[in-house]
Amino acid sequence: MSHEPHDKLVADDAAPKRPGLVRVDQGQWAGWYHYEPSDAFEDHTGPFYCKPDEGRGIICGFLPDVKNCNAGGNIHGGSLMTFADYALFMIAGGMDASVHGVTVTCNNEFVGAAEPGRLLTARGEVIRAGFSMVFVRGVISDGERPVMAFSGTIKRVPGGQKGNG
């Protein structure tokens, strides 16, 4: 894993208002956004990306490879749960606002196997956003096929470097 900054990321004057999102201009993730400074654990597991979802909020993306596999050759549940936790915070804030907080709950239901080399996407919705808690639910899919349903609760805390738990 490189400790160098992501050289394919450039600032975008028309970028979303959410602090820390930097647009990728090259490679397979061109047009997606990555968080900078990056989260070491998320980048080790992923990396994960996001972009606007055609008027439906935000879509998160993850392209798992063999490092993410379990002994059976499918994507390890821990990798999917890490992606779900990332998606909770991204869905909670969307492209224009950060939600600074900690994960209180992250519930996961595995509904299908995920395979290496196939793009996984996460979409979801905020069920309720209160003063101190945000409730989110979503689905991770391989194309149209659901892989995992997730829901979680975020406890808002002041400040923070990233809107991520």
Look at residue 1 and tell me if it is in a domain: no
Q: Are 163 and 98 in contact (CB under 8 A)?
A: yes
**Containing domain of residue 149, as a range?**
9-156
Count of structural domains within the chain:
1
Q: What is the pLDDT of residue 39?
A: 84
Q: What is the pLDDT of residue 140?
A: 98
Query: Exposure pattern of 81-90 as b/e (b: 16+ CB <10 Å)?
Result: bbbbbbbbbb
Q: Is pLDDT above 80 for 160?
A: no
Look at residue 165 and tell me if it is in a domain: no
pTM (two decimals): 0.86
| pLDDT average, residue stretch 120-142 | 97
Look at residue 163 and tell me if it is in a domain: no
Look at residue 139 and tell me if it is in a domain: yes
Look at residue 53 and tell me if it is in a domain: yes
Report the CATH number that the domain containing residue 96 is assigned in CATH.
3.10.129.10
Secondary structure (3-state) at 12? coil
Percent of the chain with pLDDT over 90: 70
Look at residue 84 and tell me if it is in a domain: yes
Look at residue 3 and tell me if it is in a domain: no
pLDDT digits (tens, 9 = 90+) for 25-56: 999 999 999 988 778 899 999 999 999 988 78
Look at residue 15 and tell me if it is in a domain: yes
Q: What is the pLDDT of residue 15?
A: 53
